[in-house]
Amino acid sequence: MTTPPEGAPDGGPPVAVRTTGLRKTYSGPRGDVPAVQGVDLEVAQGEFFGLLGPNGAGKSTTIGMLTTLVLPTAGTAEVCGLDVVRRPVEVKRRIGMVSQNNTLDNELDAFENLEFRGRYFGMSGRDARRRAGELLEMFNLQDRRKGTPFELSGGQAKRLMICRALVHRPEVLFLDEPTAGLDPQNRVNLWEVLRGLQKEGQTIVLTTHYMEEAEALCDRLAVIDHGKVLASGTVDGLKDTAGADTVITVSYDGTPPDALGALRERPGVQRVEVAGEQVRVFASEPDGVLGELVAAGSAAGVGVTDAAQLRPSLETVFLTLTGREYRD
């Protein structure tokens, strides 16, 4: 008998996904490489939850463990109240997964990709065909039903992959960088599709390195880097609790002026970083900082080649937490 997911501690919706001390270490010729280091997460039923972080942060490995594709080194992970290590088959029946890469069957057309997936999950031929038709219409792909994956655009292929993941009506949908490689129009269109799914009650766990995507879609999110959760909560909550500062960045056409040392003592300035000819200032009280940087350069005979001021956002939350830019 399946154990139902436990309710949230505050009496809210049941927990759909829970990890405790989740770890994954890969061993190789150069020694052990920790990919995930003690991740604790909870995702409620019906929630749109995001894992936000740069490439190589450990997001995909975390999703891999939650979807039974990667075996954890330590810790526990439960999906729909089921341990992913002890009961992987039952977990697979309850989840849908959309990976970064196109995994559609190239020998089948769009309709057949969905029909065959339905049959794989035990649907009758009639039910599988009905479900395939419903999904193609829902995702505006009915005119591509006979198209092979090679004949679909990037956005159409991604939508078809989501259709395929939804054929068996999973309780939790996992999306690993679902809009990577898509042009802005297809990305925004896919956002609308995903919002619609959540409105219908679908639990969604998303990994992304697009900050605007996380802010547009997620009820809550966790910022992750080097396999660790740096902070988690709502977007507004992260801005408050992470102490996100305004980030003022100035690039000079020479060595930054020595006068910057005094800027570190300015009220409201939390941190000043100098990297080559660029200076980055983290300030909770940013008024006048940019002017001081320009004036300091002018006084030292150093010109300003570029300047930017970013108000508190998911990007500045991340920069405040890590003290460096997103990596490629």
Number of other CB atoms surrounding residue 125 within 10 Å = 10
Please report the pLDDT score of residue 151 as a whole number: 94
Q: How confident is residue 318, by pLDDT bands cut at 50, 70 and 90?
A: confident
Answer yes or no: is pLDDT of 250 > 60: yes
115, β-bridge pairs: none
What is the C-alpha R_g of the chain? 23
Q: What is the mean pLDDT of residues 63-84?
A: 97
Number of other CB atoms surrounding residue 87 within 10 Å = 19
Q: What is the mean pLDDT of residues 46-66?
A: 93
CA dist 37 and 150 (Å) reads 39
Q: What is the mean pLDDT of residues 181-190?
A: 88
Q: How confident is residue 51, by pLDDT bands cut at 50, 70 and 90?
A: very high
Domains of the chain: 15-240 (3.40.50.300), 245-311 (3.30.70.100)
Please report the pLDDT score of residue 41 as a whole number: 96
In the chain, % of residues over pLDDT 70: 91
More confident site: 239 or 93: 93
- What's the token pair of residue 25? 């270490």
pLDDT, averaged across the chain: 89
CB-count burial class (<10 Å; 0-12, 13-18, 19+) for 262: exposed
CB neighbour list of residue 105: distance below 8 Å, 6 or more residues apart: 112, 113, 116, 149
Q: How confident is residue 324, by pLDDT bands cut at 50, 70 and 90?
A: low
98, β-bridge pairs: 175
- What's the token pair of residue 12? 């809210």
Answer yes or no: is pLDDT of 17 > 70: yes
Please report the pLDDT score of residue 2 as a whole number: 44
Q: What is the mean pLDDT of residues 111-120?
A: 97
> Pick from 283, 275, 282: which is nearest to 256 by CA?
275
CA dist 117 and 60 (Å) reads 23
Please report the pLDDT score of residue 322 as a whole number: 65
Answer yes or no: is pLDDT of 9 > 50: no
Pairing of strands 278-283, 15-28: unpaired
Give 125-143 pLDDT, tens digit per residue: 999 999 999 999 999 999 9
Q: What is the mean pLDDT of residues 90-113?
A: 95
Q: Contact, 109 vs 148, CB < 8 A?
A: yes
